[in-house]
Structure 1
Amino acid sequence: MKFFLTFLFALLGVCINAQNLEKLSEKVTEEGIALYRSEMASWYGTDILRENYKNMENIGGYFSYLDDVPKCIFFSKQNKVIATISFPTNYDPKNAKVDLSERDFTPVETDYFTIRQKALTRINNDTIFNRYNNTNFNLVPIIKKNSKKVYVLTGASVNNVVIFGNDYLLTFNNKNEVESIEKLHKGIIVHNIGDGSIGADEGGVHSHVLDNWQQITPTDICTLMLYQKHTGWETYTTVSKKYASIWNNKSNKAFIMKTENFKKIANYQLEKNKKSENKKTQDSNK
Structure 2
Amino acid sequence: MKQILTVLAVLFIFPAAGQNPDKLSKEISEEGIALYQSEMTSWNGTDIFIEHYKNRDNIGGYFSYLDEGTPKCIFFSKSQKVIGTICFPANYNPKDAKLDLVERDFTPKETEYFTIRQNALKRMQNDSIFKIYKDTNLNIIPLIRNKIKKVYVLTAASTGNTVIFGNDYLITFDNKDQVKHVEKLHNSMIVQKINDETIGHTVSGMHSHVIENWQTITPTDICTLMLYQKFTGWENYTTISKKFVSIWNSDNNLVIMKTEDFKGMTENILKNKKPKPEPEKKEK
Q: CA deviation at 1:53?
A: 1.2
Letter in 1 for 2:132: R
Match of 2:62 in 1: 62
Match of 2:149 in 1: 148
Letter in 1 for 2:265: I
Match of 1:95 in 2: 96
What is the CA–CA distance in structure 2 between the aligned matches of 1:20 and 1:219, rounded to whole Å?
24
Contact 2:244 2:257 in 1 (8 A): yes
Contact 2:120 2:171 in 1 (8 A): yes
SS in 1 for 2:60: strand
- Deviations for 1:60-89, whole angstroms, at most 9, x for unmatched residues? 100001112010000011110000000000
Q: CA deviation at 1:20?
A: 9.4
Match of 1:205 in 2: 206
Match of 1:168 in 2: 169
Match of 1:8 in 2: none
Match of 2:235 in 1: 234
What is the CA–CA distance in structure 1 between the aligned matches of 2:237 and 2:131, rounded to whole Å?
25
Contact 1:22 1:255 in 2 (8 A): no
- Structure having the higher helix fraction is 1
Q: CA deviation at 1:194?
A: 1.3
What is the CA–CA distance in structure 2 between the aligned matches of 1:137 and 1:21, rounded to whole Å?
33
- Deviations for 1:128-185, whole angstroms, at most 9, x for unmatched residues? 1111111110000001232000000000010010000000000011210111001100
What is the CA–CA distance in structure 1 between the aligned matches of 2:35 and 2:48, rounded to whole Å?
20
Match of 2:137 in 1: 136
Q: CA deviation at 1:201?
A: 2.7
Normalising by structure 1, report the TM-score. Answer: 0.86
Contact 2:195 2:202 in 1 (8 A): no
What is the CA–CA distance in structure 2 between the aligned matches of 1:151 and 1:20, rounded to whole Å?
28
What is the CA–CA distance in structure 1 between the aligned matches of 2:128 and 2:42, rounded to whole Å?
27
What do you get for the CA RMSD once the two structures are aligned?
Answer: 2.0
Match of 1:83 in 2: 84
What is the CA–CA distance in structure 2 between the aligned matches of 1:102 and 1:234, rounded to whole Å?
44
Contact 2:246 2:255 in 1 (8 A): yes
Aligned length: 257
Q: CA deviation at 1:114?
A: 0.8
Q: CA deviation at 1:225?
A: 0.1
Contact 1:71 1:84 in 2 (8 A): yes
Q: CA deviation at 1:57?
A: 2.0
Structure 1 unaligned blocks of 5 or more: 1-18, 280-286
What is the CA–CA distance in structure 1 between the aligned matches of 2:249 and 2:236, rounded to whole Å?
5
Match of 1:223 in 2: 224
Match of 1:11 in 2: none
Q: CA deviation at 1:21?
A: 7.5
Letter in 2 for 1:232: G
Q: CA deviation at 1:48?
A: 0.4
Contact 1:84 1:100 in 2 (8 A): yes
